[in-house]
Amino acid sequence: MNNFEFTTRRRTSFLGFVIAALCSFASPIANTTSDATEVAPALDGRWSGKIQIPGHELTLIIDLAHDQKWSGSAILPRLNVKGAPLIDIKTEGADLSFAIQALTGPGVEAPKIKAHLTGEKLVGDFVQAGNTGRFELDKTGPPQVEKAPQSTPVAKEFEGEWSGGYDLLGYPRKVTLKLQNHPLQPASAEWVIAGRKINNLPVDRITQQGKFITVECSAFGISYEGRLENGELHGTVFQGPIEVAFVMRRPK
């Protein structure tokens, strides 16, 4: 298992292809007589329900809003996904598809949703890494699409290089985080986690408020939340259901 490949690996077995084929034939067929302008208001809203996975149920909440074009966000509480943007949103009649910008990593694509509007329900499949979970969502109210927070500059005491480490699944990880401010622009970061391989994480969001800082990498679906205490960063790294606490200090 690679350092951040916590999501299920892609399967390429013959059985996988058979399951995929059966699922594609089982998917509901779009109502070609539906007018897209009539379907859009019906899809607009907050949808909530369960993804059926063998031995488990995952709560899925989807917010969809249509104002000239579609926007949306997703919540998967058990996987620590909150307000993840929806991308590649497409509708055709009563059919809907999109991807969730979360839980990704090297060789692991974003989870995809394929659904069909049936009466007051969205019924479809949650697909990632060759695995499929059936779901049924009910509309619970108006959309509450979360806008992605913008990066901020960081206070001087956060600037510079931090390093630390932790063990995960029996393997040590070394973490390096370099924070830098820029005139009239948000801060930037270089974030490296090295274990059995070196991962240079592309940081797309940094927010700092008081003694707290959050660093996010949507490409890997990983984030770090830390608190500055006595010249040290005490925090937790999150990816999916995994949480690891550790301390970072200034390198000597």
Neighbours of 149 (CB within 10 A): 12
Q: Out of 15-19, 188-192, 219-223, which region has the weakest mean confidence (pLDDT)?
A: 15-19
Is residue 238 within 8 A of residue 246, CB to CB? The reply is no
pLDDT band, residue 38 (cuts 50/70/90): low
Contact 125, 114 (CB under 8 A): yes
- Residue 7 pLDDT greater than 60, yes or no: no
Indicate the pLDDT class of residue 123, thresholds 50, 70 and 90.
very high
Which pLDDT belongs to residue 8? 33
How many residues does the structure list for the chain?
A: 252
In the chain, CATH 2.40.128.20 covers 156-249
Q: Higher model confidence: residue 103 or residue 33?
A: 103
Strand partners, 83: none
Average pLDDT, the chain: 81
Which of 4-13, 27-36, 230-239 is the most confident on average? Answer: 230-239
Residue range(s) in the chain whose domain bears CATH number 2.40.128.120 = 14-141
Q: What is the 3-state secondary structure (H, E, C) of the chain?
A: CCCCCCCCCCCCCHHHHHHHHHHHHHCCCCCCCCCHHHHHHHHCEEEEEEEEECCEEEEEEEEEEEECEEEEEEEEHHHCEEEEEEEEEEEECCEEEEEECCCCECCECCCEEEEEEECCEEEEEEEECCEEEEEEEEEEECCCCCCCCCCCCCCHHHCEEEEEEEEECCEEEEEEEEEEEECCEEEEEEEEEECCCEEEECCCEEEEECCEEEEEECCCCEEEEEEEECCEEEEEEEECCEEEEEEEECCC
Q: CA Rg, the chain, in Å?
A: 20
CB 216 within 8 A of CB 202: no
Q: What percent of the chain lies above the pLDDT cut of 90? A: 50
CATH of 156-249, one of 2.40.400.10, 1.10.10.10, 2.40.128.20, 3.30.530.20: 2.40.128.20
Top pLDDT among 85 and 192 is at: 192
pLDDT value at residue 165: 94
pLDDT of residue 126: 94
The residue-averaged pLDDT of 46-69 equals: 90
Average confidence (pLDDT) over 185-192: 94
Q: Does domain 14-141 have CATH number 3.30.1360.70?
A: no
Residue 177: pLDDT band (50, 70, 90) is very high
